[in-house]
Structure 1
Amino acid sequence: MPENAAGGVLHIDLDALASNWRTLRDNAGGAETAAVVKANAYGIGIEKAVPALARAGCRTFFVAHLSEAIRVRAVAPDATIYVLNGLFAGTCPTYAEFDLCPVLGSFEEIEEWAGFCRAEGQKRKAAIHVDTGMNRLGLTVPQGLTLKDRAELKDFETSLLMSHFVSAEESDNLLNRQQIEAFQAVRATLPGIAASLANSSGIFLKEKPHFDLARPGYALYGGNPTPDRDNPTKPVVGLEARIVQLRWVEADHSVGYNGRWLALEKRRIATLSVGYADGYPRAASARGKSGDELLSGMALVAGRTCPFAGNVSMDLITIDVTDVPENQVQRGDTVTLIGGDLTVDEVGRRAGTIGYEILTNLGSRYARTYRGGQG
């Protein structure tokens, strides 16, 4: 889609992505630093992100689904690729075909993978996930402590023992220490197996739980892994939306579906050709009266912050540009929805969600521009 024909333009800085990976690597205490590229590399595109990260030096990638792993393999033929969401029944041949590593989180999965490897006569790699507090996927800690006695582990190569933090972004949360201790206890029973616990925020914890491999995700894409401190990473994503129409709305007139936003005096409204069908959250809608938009979405227009006016609809967003000089905002101009002070974390906060959701919902209707990524 040509930029001038698109309602929104997504700008992606692959050099910043690579720089963020290096920053995270340099803070990981000498541990190998992998990259989590699930959800289409957090919305920026597996086929663009993975080669850029590989050129920066990344050799190990994590995804959520088998289909994502196959896409990564197509652009990273020599990488180690782990699939986080477990081994689905009957999928072992596909893992073997593409040389992929399942993350095994139950005895049933361990038995199925061991049986496949035994029948094939080849000890293929897999990770084992021990749950230390999330209560989603993984063996319980008591189960993890019995792994050393499982005969099935002789039939495949356990290349990684891993767990996942519950609240690593909360640096003083007592759960962090509890999880580290539980993970260390299981790890002690399986000497010689590489271990991984630290996600993006975990890399920066004072306990330095880096072990052998860190696996950052969100911070690679510019999200702040240390919410109580300045962001150590660079922004990767910027989003611009095109103004398709400008109009004056008279006092006591509403804007948008259901009339949830009311102009207290005459206001100038710009309509943008982006909506929730493009992945911009409807929860960023502005309700109430002009001047009340404390936690609504915002746009940057000619260097000024302008609040949303009314509901975010499927294909359109309306914003109040009254305070921008008329000669500085015209039909066809683009305004910033992500960029500058409107970081992915700030956009998420204003929509009552998190930056992860903002990134991973980035829509397919945007024109996309990519910068860098060649070195």
Structure 2
Amino acid sequence: MAAATPSKNDDVPARAGAILDVDLSAVAANWRLLRDRVRPAACAAVVKADAYGLGAQRVAPALRDAGCRLFFVAHPDEGLALAGAVPAAEIAVLNGAVPGSEGDFSAAGIVPVLNSLDDLARWTRHAATLGRVLPAFIHLDTGMNRLGLAPAEQGTLAAEPERLRGVDLRGWITHLACAEIASHPLNADQAGRFRAALARLPGAPASLANSAGIFLGPDYHFDFVRPGCALYGINPTPGTPNPMLPTIKLRARILQVRPVDSPMTVGYGATHTVVRAGKVATIATGYADGYSRSLSGAGHVLVAGRPAPVIGRVSMDLITVDVTDVPEDAIRQGDFAELIGPHRTVDQVAAEAGTIGYEVMTSLGRRYWRRYLPDGLPA
């Protein structure tokens, strides 16, 4: 069963096995930093995947209060769930409206991103049925080859703009494939293809840049940008200092500390063999909470401010860490180990897991006791 979500003033109960603190002020500050960086372009916010695991119902209103008026999600149900939580704002669905779902969009006032001429035709037919113009964004593929109108479809639409009749065109969007690699030639190629397509199509606001794309410079900003990962503290400029504030702190309780010595083994499969006398702490988190099994023998946590390596396999509910080098008087049952936080970033955890910060964030489990903090993360 999911742990309750307390209000900002509630204390953490003694029974809570782990705490996920979410700093809403840092999320808002990250949005404002990006907004100021891209002016005069506008700044939207991507809150798909439950705001990258942090809770869209809490994050989106905080961003709206900061001034955001356009939100992107991936699935229609995400948009439907968010409708009403951000009044006077627009919610757009990147995956678009699959056949038969058009009525759900128009009834709720959420906006599809149309990804093909077939999508466009169905949307205009639905608008005609209702006898009114309906809003939509249109996605142009410029090199990702996932979603969006292919170049041939773009040419057709440019030659037959009457296909847009019945559409309140909210904007043209495309998506960068390699923005995290600033020197990658596809970045400039995609920007060029986008400009060429826009020159042939009816005028409307245009959007190219994701989080990393914002840092490629003004040539990539167009009329509005769509940051996601940077809002939540993931570094949008890998290989350089992170310009964003951390937004979460994840701590899990130490359930037991036990002495070990060679030739003992630790955990499932006996994958770790003890080579010296020491101490092992068992901590209340596991892969069911999003702490990846790939961190087995590779991850680290902080115990009393000291790094402690994960030893043995990450199991469903527990991890074991070597605390031999943590002073005896600095560790007790019930204390917390820091898994992610200002001193143990999500990008560091991702690197140890062999993945990216996006996956770490969106995997955050529902069993954590969540606190939404208005004034920063705890020390």
Q: TM-score range by the shorter chain?
A: over 0.9
User: What are the residue-to-residue correspondences of 1:258-277 with 2, within 5 Å?
Assistant: 258-277=269-288
Q: TM-score, normalised by structure 1?
A: 0.95
Which residue among 330, 346, 359 is the counterpart of 1:344? 346
Task: For residue 243 of structure 1, report the CA deviation from its aligned partner.
Answer: 0.5
2:103 — aligned with what? 93
2:122 — aligned with what? 112
Query: Does 2:23 match 1:13?
Result: yes
Unaligned 5+ segments in structure 1 are 287-295
Q: Which amino acid aligns with 2:93?
A: V
CA distance in structure 2 between the aligned counterparts of 1:184 and 1:58, rounded to whole angstroms: 26
1:103 — aligned with what? 113
CA distance in structure 2 between the aligned counterparts of 1:146 and 1:32, rounded to whole angstroms: 29
1:247 — aligned with what? 258
Work out whether residues 6 and 365 of structure 1, in 8 Å CA contact, stay in contact via their aligned partners in 2.
Answer: no
1:127 — aligned with what? 137
Query: Does 2:369 match 1:367?
Result: yes
SS in 1 for 2:62: helix
SS in 2 for 1:4: coil
CA distance in structure 2 between the aligned counterparts of 1:373 and 1:181, rounded to whole angstroms: 43
CA distance in structure 1 between the aligned counterparts of 2:33 and 2:198, rounded to whole angstroms: 27
Q: Which amino acid aligns with 1:99?
A: G
Q: Which amino acid aligns with 1:219?
A: A
Which residue among 323, 326, 341 is the counterpart of 1:324? 326
CA distance in structure 1 between the aligned counterparts of 2:219 and 2:287, rounded to whole angstroms: 39
1:151 — aligned with what? 162
SS in 1 for 2:338: strand
1:290 — aligned with what? none
Query: Does 2:34 match 1:24?
Result: yes
2:84 — aligned with what? 74
2:69 — aligned with what? 59
Q: Which amino acid aligns with 1:367?
A: W
SS in 2 for 1:54: helix
Work out whether residues 46 and 71 of structure 1, in 8 Å CA contact, stay in contact via their aligned partners in 2.
Answer: no
CA distance in structure 2 between the aligned counterparts of 1:207 and 1:58, rounded to whole angstroms: 20
2:7 — aligned with what? none
SS in 1 for 2:84: helix
Q: Deviations over 1:202-248 (max 9, x none)?
A: 00004631011100000000001111321111000110000011101
CA distance in structure 1 between the aligned counterparts of 2:13 and 2:231, rounded to whole angstroms: 26
Task: For residue 50 of structure 1, report the CA deviation from its aligned partner.
Answer: 0.7
Percent sequence identity is 47
CA distance in structure 1 between the aligned counterparts of 2:166 and 2:132, rounded to whole angstroms: 8
1:141 — aligned with what? 151
Task: For residue 72 of structure 1, report the CA deviation from its aligned partner.
Answer: 1.6
Unaligned 5+ segments in structure 2 are 5-11
User: What are the residue-to-residue correspondences of 1:192-203 with 2, within 5 Å?
Assistant: 192-203=203-214
Of stretches 71-80 and 87-96 in structure 1, the one that deviates more from structure 2 is 71-80
Q: TM-score, normalised by structure 2?
A: 0.94
Of stretches 24-33 and 311-320 in structure 1, the one that deviates more from structure 2 is 24-33
